[in-house]
Amino acid sequence: MSSFDVVIIGSGPGGYVSAIRCAQLGFKTAIIEKYSTLGGTCLNVGCIPSKALLASSHHYSEIAHFADHGIELSGEVKVNLEKMIARKQAVVDQTSGGVKFLMDKNNITVLEGLGSFVDETHVAVAKGDGTSETIEAKNIIIATGSKPSSLPFIKIDKERIITSTEALKLKEVPKHLVIIGGGVIGIELGQVYLRLGAQVSVVEYLDRIIPGMDASLSKELTKVLKKQGMKFYVSHKVQSVDRNGDAVVVQAENAKGETITLEGDYALVSVGRRPYTDGLNADKAGVKVTERGMVEVNDHLQTNIPNIYAIGDVVRGAMLAHKAEEEGVMVAEILAGQKPHIDYNLIPGVVYTWPEVAAVGQTEEQLKANGVAYKAGSFPFKALGRARAGGDTDGFVKILADAKTDEVLGVHMIGARCADLIAEAVTAMEFKASAEDISRMSHAHPTFAEAIKEAALAATDNRALHV
């Protein structure tokens, strides 16, 4: 029987990064993955493929504005969806192959098969050829991730009533894509197909899209996407989703109790994700799992069984790849006797639409609910020279700071390059920066990052310079 210091079940961003850190720290490490490719949901059917399609569709949509830049095209510009999907898959394959390279480089044993507990120190690996292998581990890390959620009355057929997984490999551009759920995944995939020519309707139970983010971001993104042609039905409760041949009929009830009917050729069910522990047999190791399949852990990500840990989407907190990575590193370092720490308040969130949306820290709604006295400063992208030069003038940066100490409590932005710009805010907040600290740092001109400096100036005695 093979024996290891650490065995990790699941090779998503949390699992494979944890494996690398464990190996760096000198642990004999193995990672178990039930699929034939490494990288989990993120690399195979999540973050990476969706960004590939967002990039391709963004290039296509930009062509409409070439004339504004003095670029004249002759001939018809067409979408080759098959080629676009093939490019997406090539990006996925290259990225997954990169993870395999990292496993080999760090001498990590990769076992393909379904990992399940035999007891608290043994894991069985059921392989695709019907054979099984049992390995021994001093420590085990559960990193089995999540799967798309649905609603009890919806029958997902993976043909016309689909999840995000199927939406990444459609063979045609929908005529009318009805999206159930206005969260990050639904909005991102909705914009992909909106750009390619689909009519897109979003049905959201709550009163706004991207409801977990600051309300000002939701309002601005809704305005921009409406301008692009997306339709929204917020405060609508879906009652039924039925397929009739190639048509899908969605009925929903609005706040007044009235029923609306939307008919499309595809319905994307995007109502969140659920922790995935199917087949793990956690009970055989005595690990406590909630009714929703979430593994219970303490502040050190340790389960009720001392040598078993869990990270990523399978534990409490935001279901984000970078959060899982931080947790994977944290557990590895704890096993090595170090004392790492994660400030979950400073895990940024990003929506990769265009304009991009990004945020870190507390929202205005949270500060108000907690009775925290704060001040706010905003700066619009349309006042930036770089934004005007590039034609990306939608959006703003908003900084929230403590009314007494001036410490930055939250940064919320929507606009071009915000997915990258948010890193400046995370860095500043990690070092307990004040709004004045940011306002006194030199920012290169002309750049989109200047909006952060100007928002900080606005939060510091309302003294933004360029608005």
Nearby residues of 412 by Cβ (< 8 Å), 6 or more positions away:
213, 214, 216, 217, 358, 359, 363, 397, 398, 400
Choose, from 65, 69, 445, 466, the residue flagged as catalytic: 445
Q: Is 69 a catalytic residue?
A: no
Which are the catalytic amino acids? Answer: 445
